[in-house]
Chains A and B, each alone.
Chain A
Amino acid sequence: MSNIDSVKTGAALLRTLKVLTYLAGFPLLLFAAYQSVGKIGGYAVTAGAAATGFKVLAAGFAAVAAVQIIVGLTLKKRGFLTRAFIVAVAAFGAVFAPLIYTETVVRADFDALRAQYAEEGYDFAPYEKQVSDYAERAAGRDAAFNGFMSRYNLSGLDGSTRGGNLDATPTVAPSDKNAPFLKGFEDFSHYIFGAEAGSAVYSINGLYADSYVFGYNQAKYILETYYATRDAYAEKGLDADIELQAALDALDADGSVWKRYQQTVEYLRAYGDGYVDPDATVTIGGKEYNLKKLRADNYYLTVDEVKDMVDKLFAELGQNRAMADLVALINGAVGILGIDLPEGVTDILNDYNNLDYDALMSAIAGLNIEIGGKPLNEETLLGYISEYSFYQSPSSYPKMFFIDDAALRDYAYAKYLATKHGAVVGSVLLGQSVGLVSLDNLSGAAPMSAAQLERLFKKIEIENSYMPKYYPWLAIRGDVLKLGGIVPVAIFIAYALAYAENKKLDKLIAGRGGAKKSI
């Protein structure tokens, strides 16, 4: 190998080493920090917030690069040591400033917040502990949140709607000043349930829109309202449900505000018998509606419809060959077993091909069966049907709107939304089966207790108050501690290697008799 070749190889080796050393500095730190940031991007700390500390580091890198260029241009004549020193100092500052910020400002803030919650009686792990296990904590917080969300089948933080209202009346946001909300009635000014708890989608009567699925904020507000009111009544030795029923019963009195409201056009167009003119229209929120479309009974099974269905069913069964066999079998069995059937039942058996709704109801009542403490009769059966088939018109006030006591009214709304509205949209919040209750999932999910809910809400509130704020800094802290020290050193060595490489190249050029080249 000639001398020139060996110099060339040496220069190439030095150049490679220079690049590798440089990469082992800031770029490696940024790469590591990027990986750490990826570990906390989720619900607790959103991906955008998680990158705060990383962005500061990256900006530092850009600043150091700028310093490098400026130094290279202005201090050309000085030795490489001067230039290397200045750039290394800049790199030191860019790396350790965020660390110092984290260790002083962030830490002091964190400790103050922790002390504040400690005064309220809530404790969370100290800074020293969280600096090492923040990623697990963020994941744990997300898991707890997701568990709650899937148990109650909720939709995001503020819920979502799938197409608004069944009767096509407008959906509105409380923040919209021009929203065509109803105007209240007599002394009852318009009321929007939970307007302050996040941004839900409403109907003009102040209830959530028909297809609105609660988000975290709304579910929390409903459950907190429900349990807080119950507790408040319990402290006075009262039962909120009994009080609520009493308040609703009082509204049935002649001349009550509810009775007066039931005479208004607003109510009658949804529920009144007199409003059947199919051509009549009404304008709501600038849109014209056919009155027929606004009628609530379009959207639930009326007693007449149930009657027709049952009559039709018996008409079909009456003509069925197997019915005669069945009746014969029962009559035979009753004789052999010596059972006394109630009169209603014998009537049905003997006259099965003339059976209809009314006959069935009187026979059922004659059985004297009790279900869940209630006698099984027409009223209970229709009650069961209306559990699942009902419709609250979105364009008129519900009865509970007229409850005088504000706390009790909130309670009524919360209970209605948690059970009835929740059952429609698949997010039941109260009862033995919560979340999605459907025909093939009748048992839904198991509910959380009031105490569990309170703990969870508080935990999420506390964690929300510090995780998004501090975790982005903790995420880069560990990497800066581990790799930060290398950065100025790596830059310094890279400069030294560049210097050595230039020396070799100079030798090469001198050997060829060329002009001296400065790099």
Chain B
Amino acid sequence: MNNKIENTKFMLLKAVIILCGFPAIAGYAVYKSLPIFEYNYSYFPYVLAGLGVLAALAALYYIAVIITGSLSKRAKGKNTITVCTVALVAVGMLLTTGTWFAIDKYVPPILSGATQSTITYEQLKDDYTDKARVHAELLTGFIEMNIKNGRLSPEKADIYRREGYGNDEVKELISNSYNSMQYDGYESFNGMLVDMANGGRLTIPVLLHLLFDERNAPSYGFSGYEGEGRGEENKDAPISWSVLDLQGGVMTFSLDAGGLLPTDYTELLEWLMPALFGEGGMMEELLTAVESAIASDELVGAPIYVSIDYAANTLSISIESPNSGRGVYDYMSMAWLANNQLLVAVISIFPVRNACLMLGGLLALSGIALGIIRQKKYGANVQKGGK
């Protein structure tokens, strides 16, 4: 009877101690992962990568618990239980702190290699929740753009929004859009020029090279664009990309128009400007002709939007890519989006990493506590059997 109570007490204590180890870490990791699940649930099962790693570590740890437990139970030598305890603590440290030390050392170069240094380990390490949001917004933004331009059917809008990356149409459109940009855009340029543009050296000569030098022929040829853009595109022709599409954003530059014409014509200029640039002015209409010329093979061969404003003798000219109408982002964001499932998997690992590093000590403590109660429980046998 006494023995039974003793046994129950032992089992209970053991349960409490074990709960304070990995389950505590897992609880914290899950709690910290909740925002990531919420943002990126459509990337199932990738979004669970972190917890998968944690489960694997836990499994290994509990195998060690079972082995050391059974060794302790059958302990003959005086030191066996102590050795088992030390071994368990060491395994715990190795699996938590050790694993992440190794990952901290070897994963960063792989990550920056895979993302061409556009995402670094350092950026993710402590800011993973925000990154999870940013990458989730890439997806929701993409879906909205393409519902708006009709590439995704507006009638099924709610389904796309709900299913996200889990929806096959969305998945396929992401892949096609990115591949088109990759093979018919990025890779059609001379690599040296693209590197200079991306390296903060998009000078006017480099821009002219990128716009007008001969490029490699398109090899992917994704077509079927039905955008609401200003320029008219041929639905059956492969989408063509200019360097502005890869860069994204708007480029604006100003010219001093005041000094351009002889003073005899200033009056005429003052007369014309409101008609050109005022509300409903002719400039907008004229620019469609300019844009259509730009899209032709004689010029850029891909659409670029131009807007011109005139104020205080200064012409400010903006050129912009038709990306948002086409339902795509700049090249870097598209590359992220196309690999979002992997990035989400990587992001999901960070709460687990941080939980393991922060609470790894708990595992050591619970290992020691386990050792103490084992000593109490089985130690007597050793004494009796005594060497």
Residues of A that sit less than 8 Å from B by CB: 153, 162-166, 210-211, 213, 298-299, 301, 305, 308-309, 311-313, 315-317, 319-323, 325-326, 329-330, 333-334, 337, 339, 367-369, 388-390, 423-426, 436-440, 442
Cross-chain pairs A/B with CB under 8 angstroms, 17 sampled: A163-B190, A166-B192, A298-B214, A301-B212, A311-B298, A317-B286, A320-B285, A320-B286, A320-B288, A337-B268, A369-B260, A389-B205, A423-B203, A423-B204, A423-B205, A424-B205, A426-B201
> A439 and B253: CB pair below 8 A?
yes
B126 within 8 A of A: no
Does B208 count as interface, using CB distance less than 8 angstroms? yes
Asked if B272 is an interface residue, CB under 8 A from chain A, the answer is: yes
The answer on a CB contact under 8 Å between B201 and A320 is no
**Residues from chain A with Cβ under 8 Å of B195 in the complex:** 162-163, 211
| CB <8 Å contact, B264 and A339 | yes
B interface residue numbers (CB < 8 A to A): 190-193, 195-196, 199-209, 212-214, 251-254, 260-262, 264-265, 267-268, 271-272, 275-276, 282, 285-286, 288-290, 292-293, 296, 298-299
The reply to whether A389 and B212 contact each other, CB–CB distance below 8 Å, is yes
Contacts of B201 in A (CB 8 A): 153, 162, 213, 425-426, 436
Kindly identify which residue among B203, B262, B286, B296 contacts A326, using a CB–CB cutoff of 8 Å.
Answer: B286
Q: How far is the CA of A8 from the CA of B262 in the complex (A)?
A: 103
CB neighbours (8 Å) of B209 from chain A are: 166, 299, 389
Complex formed: what's the CA distance from A388 to B206 in Å? 9
Q: Quote the shortest CB–CB distance from A406 to chain B (angstroms).
A: 29
A309/B299 in contact, CB under 8 A = yes
Set of chain A residues within 8 Å of B271, measured between Cβ atoms: 333, 337
User: How far apart are the CA atoms of A432 and B203 in the complex, in Å?
Assistant: 16
Contact of B282 among A301, A313, A326 (CB under 8 A): A326
The reply to whether A440 and B208 form a contact with Cβ atoms under 8 Å apart is: no
- Among A166, A301, A369, A437, the residue within 8 A (CB) of B203 is A437
By the criterion CB–CB under 8 Å, are A438 and B203 in contact?
A: yes
Cβ B285 vs Cβ A339 within 8 A:
no
- Establish whether residues A426 and B285, one from each chain, have CB atoms under 8 Å apart when the complex forms: no
A80 and B292 CA atoms in complex are apart in Å by 96
- In the assembled complex, the CB of A303 is this many whole angstroms from the nearest CB of chain B, namely 13
B284 to A, closest residue via Cβ: A322
**B196 in contact with A425 (CB, 8 Å):** yes
List the 3 shortest-distance A-B pairs measured between CB atoms, nearest first. A163-B192, A322-B285, A426-B201
Partner of B272, one of A153, A329, A440: A329
Give A333 to B199 CA distance when docked, in angstroms.
Answer: 49
Q: Is the CB of B213 within 8 A of A298?
A: yes
Residue among B206, B261, B290 making CB contact with A424, cutoff 8 Å? B206
Are B293 and A316 closer than 8 Å at their CB atoms?
Answer: yes
Residues from chain A with a CB closer than 8 A to the CB of B268 are 330, 333-334, 337, 339
Contact B298 A309 (CB under 8 A): yes
Whether the pair A437, B204 counts as a contact (CB closer than 8 A) is: yes
Q: A369-B262, A424-B205 are in contact. Are A321 and B296 (CB under 8 A)?
A: no
Task: Please state if B299 and A339 are interface contacts (CB–CB under 8 Å).
Answer: no
Note all chain A residues with C-beta closer than 8 A to B282.
322, 325-326, 329
Q: Kindly list chain A residues whose C-beta atoms are within 8 Å of the C-beta of B286.
A: 317, 320, 322-323, 326
Residues of B near A315 (CB, < 8 A) are 293
**Roughly how many angstroms separate A390 CA and B205 CA in the complex, as a whole number?**
8
* B-side contacts of A298, CB under 8 Å: 213-214
- When chains A and B are docked, how far (Å) is the Cα of A442 from the Cα of B202? 12
CA distance A439 to B293 in the complex (A): 21
Distance A426 CA – B261 CA, assembled complex (angstroms): 31
In contact, A439 and B207 (Cβ under 8 angstroms):
yes
Alpha-carbon gap, A390 to B213, bound state (A): 11
Separation in Å of the A207 CB from the closest CB of chain B?
15
Cα distance, A392 to B254, chains bound together (Å): 29
Chain A contacts of B272 at CB under 8 A? 329-330, 333
B285 vs chain A, min Cβ distance (A): 4
> Taking CB as reference atom, which chain A residue is nearest B288?
A320
Q: Is the CB of B192 within 8 A of A389?
A: no
In the bound complex, do residue B199 and residue A162 qualify as a contact, i.e. CB atoms below 8 Å apart? Answer: yes
Task: Determine the distance from Cα of A344 to Cα of B209 in the docked complex, in whole angstroms.
Answer: 33
Distance of A437 Cα from B193 Cα, bound (Å): 16
Chain A residues with CB below 8 A from B190, complex form: 163, 166
Shortest Cβ distance from residue B267 to the other chain A in the assembled complex, whole angstroms: 6
